[in-house]
Chain A
Amino acid sequence: MATTSPTVRTGSALPRWARNLALTLLILYIVLLVGPIAGLDAPRIWQSIAAEPKTLVQVALVGLANGSIIAIIALGYTLVYGIIELINFAHADVFMLTAFMSLTVLGAIGVDQKSSSGQIFVGVLVALVVAVLFGALLNASIERLAYRRLRNAPRLAPLISAIGVSFILQNLGLFWGGLRIIFPVMGVNAAAPKTFPQLLPEGILFQDGPIIFRQKDLIIILASVAFMIALRLFVQYTRLGKAMRATAQNRDAAKIMGINVDTVIAFTFLLGGGLAGVAGLLVGLYNGTIVFNMGLTAGLRAFTAAVLGGIGNITGAMLGGFLIGLLAAFSDVYFSSRWTNAWVFAILVVILIFRPLGLLGEAGGEKA
């Protein structure tokens, strides 16, 4: 026990570049060796692309649509991490519950694909408002109950607390899914995927062989991008947005500016939860099904997206979201859909080793 030490030995015999090179070769070796098992079979991939190049365009479109949703979830991770350096593991489960809330609201209003477009519009709008408010309040309550007391505790404590909350929320989702007596939309089986009404217009905007671009693809991408731009502007120009940036850059300095840091942190959770609400509704509408454990995959992808873009960086989270969406779509078609999560996870590991700051991350801290 006496020998355990948290510090990394720096006096290693190899220089840094040599260790990095060795590590790169090792990873390359593993990828080449194990890659084909996980679908990375370059000749086969090349053949199928050459045989039907248009499929690649379709893959890119699917990747962009899914990526835009991943990006919205990633924003929730990045906002919270940026401000209190906590990976909010419960975030993806907040997202899952907002999808359940959206479905419940749509079920209660009673809109389905047979309703008039006016009714659908109103129904979706109501579901959006409720899901956003629900996600925001849920996330802020989690902060208040599970994280705030631990703010000055060692960093592992709130992290473990977050994992615990994640489990609680998943079980809440399972419970919610079993309430068919109250919410008939939940169907018979609590754990089974729930069917969302098809409310987005399916009309085809563009078709060329395997390339199909539907109205709902466009709607998803536009809606996501609109929310991202709004968030970016909010953080850049509003008083509260500036207070968020100040708190993220230096909490003590923010306090002596007269900023109530507790309020700003609570607000950040509200904002992240609200965005999760947007994503929850969009995913339900776009994919057509939701399930109580969907936070797991969504969380892995969104978290990787946030890290890839540079955790704490809003633009980075958006960029990372689209890139991970593209990677996942590519892997689904050309590698093997069963291995897609493994590839996403591999990306996460590789970034953490070689560029922990991410693509757009800047070294933080105050330089003299």
Chain B
Amino acid sequence: MLELRDVQTYYGNIQALKGISLKVNQGEVVTLIGSNGAGKTTTLRTIQGLNRPRYGTILFEGKALETLPTDTIVRLGISQSPEGRLVFPRMTVRENLEMGAFSRSDKEGIAQDMERALNLFPRLRERLAQKAGTLSGGEQQMLAIGRALMARPRLLLLDEPSMGLAPMLVEQIFQTVIEINEQGTTVLLVEQNARMALAVADRGYVLQTGRIVLEDTGPNLLRSETVRKAYLGEH
């Protein structure tokens, strides 16, 4: 479904991605783990065209993405819950969700997906008329994911959904990720919380300073010596 081939992205003269190649197949949950600054967020931003790769190809269902504008990429079926959530603080929760469906015009489908998002995150239903800037961090995270789902994406990019959340909420968010995947959405999940991410993922890639150093199935990576030492804090 999605394939990156030797993608290299720069910030000015600093090379953030030093040749990333990865694959996401239809129906999978694939995770990208690695420490701070490894290039996880940059990978997602590059897929969506927020950063441009200097070299390499990005194919989504056979279509090259690397020169397309972000809004076209969203229309092709890739949406994202970004790092830092980036909800619209001065819009209500309802307006934020509606913005998620900006690229669509099928009123009925949008209403269905609104219902689905609110069923996944009942907390949001209670806060529909509230300004998003007044929500707690966890609620904003739910809103960011719900908003990304409103595009009815075929591929959902999730950037650190567990960031800054209480452990109970983290578990709930990952439970929701599984649910979303079971409802038919392919997921590419970026996480620092490697244990949780690998537990829900079919396959995973380990990123280190802009390079992929390891790839395997989720369970295999959980058992791997390198991952245990570097990312799960076991010795």
Contacts and interface: CB of A to CB of B under 8 A. Distances in A.
B162 interface: no
A252 B90 CA distance: 16
B140 A253 contact: no
A255 B50 contact: yes
Nearest to A255: B70
Contacts of A365: 89
Contacts of A6: none
Given A246-B99, A367-B133, A368-B164, A256 B84 contact: no
Interface string A236-271: 000100110110011011111111110000000000
Nearest to B85: A366
A368 B140 contact: yes
Nearest to A243: B102
Interface stretch (B25-33, B72-80, B193-201, B208-216): B72-80
B86 interface: yes
Contact of A366 (B71, B79, B87): B87
B89 A257 contact: no
Given A245-B90, A258-B71, A252 B50 contact: yes
Interface in A261-308: 261
B137 A258 contact: no
B82 interface: yes
A242 B98 contact: yes
Given A245-B88, A245-B90, A366-B89, A257 B137 contact: no
Given A255-B50, A259-B71, A362 B87 contact: no
Nearest to B157: A256
Contacts of B70: 255-256, 258
A257 B84 contact: no
Nearest to B45: A252
A260 B71 contact: yes
B86 A252 contact: yes
A277 B83 CA distance: 42
B160 to A, nearest CB: 13
B103 interface: yes
A256 B133 contact: no
Interface string A346-368: 00000000000000001011111
B80 to A, nearest CB: 5
Nearest to A365: B89
Contact of A257 (B90, B103, B133, B164): B103
B133 to A, nearest CB: 6
A97 B117 CA distance: 50
Given A242-B98, A242-B99, A259-B71, A252 B82 contact: yes
A257 B74 contact: yes
A256 B98 contact: no
B44 to A, nearest CB: 10
B109 interface: no
Contacts of B85: 366
A253 B88 contact: yes
A259 B69 CA distance: 10
Contacts of B90: 245, 249, 362
A252 to B, nearest CB: 6
Given A242-B95, A242-B98, A368-B137, A256 B88 contact: no
A365 B147 CA distance: 19
B41 to A, nearest CB: 11
A265 to B, nearest CB: 13
B50 A257 contact: no
Contacts of A253: 82, 86-88
B71 A245 contact: no
Contacts of B82: 252-253, 256
Contacts of A250: 86, 88
26 contacts: A239-B102, A242-B91, A242-B99, A245-B88, A245-B90, A245-B91, A246-B88, A246-B99, A253-B88, A254-B99, A255-B48, A255-B50, A256-B48, A256-B50, A256-B80, A257-B74, A257-B103, A258-B71, A258-B74, A258-B79, A258-B151, A260-B69, A366-B85, A366-B86, A367-B89, A368-B137
Identify the 5 closest CB pairs spanning chains A and B, nearest first: A258-B103, A258-B74, A253-B86, A255-B70, A257-B102
Given A245-B90, A249-B89, A258-B103, 13 more contacts: A246-B99, A249-B91, A250-B88, A256-B70, A256-B82, A256-B86, A257-B151, A258-B71, A258-B74, A258-B75, A260-B71, A362-B90, A366-B85
Interface of A: 239, 242-243, 245-246, 249-250, 252-261, 362, 364-368
